[in-house]
Amino acid sequence: MPDTAKIPADITAMSFEEALKELEQIVEKLDSGQVDLDQSIEIYTRGSQLKQHCEGKLRSAQERVDKIVNKNGTLSVEPANVE
């Protein structure tokens, strides 16, 4: 499970889409080779935090989807068995 204590508050406040967009921008910057080493390390760290945040959002969405089950042709909702 990710250590959310290490994720800055500005990232935890982001939606999945906002975090993914910023992560894509970071990847583009790193791929361009136009940033110096110190900046690369800094934005790589932020990218890692954004990735962690996105994974948490996806996991949460998957847990909600998993609550929907098909029983005898009808959909019902059950609590997710999350530990």
Q: Measured between alpha carbons, how far is 36 from 52 in angstroms, rounded to an integer?
A: 24
Q: Delimit the domains of the chain by residue range.
A: 4-77
Whole-Å CA distances, 38 to 16, 24, 35, 45: 27, 19, 8, 11
Q: What pLDDT sits at residue 28?
A: 96
Q: Measured between alpha carbons, how far is 69 from 6 in angstroms, rounded to an integer?
A: 35
Residue 1's pLDDT band, with cuts at 50, 70 and 90, is: very low
Q: What pLDDT sits at residue 69?
A: 65
With a threshold of 0.85, does the pTM exceed it? no
Q: What pLDDT sits at residue 63?
A: 82
* Per-residue model confidence as pLDDT tens digits over 34-64: 999 999 999 999 999 999 999 999 999 888 8
Q: What pLDDT sits at residue 2?
A: 45
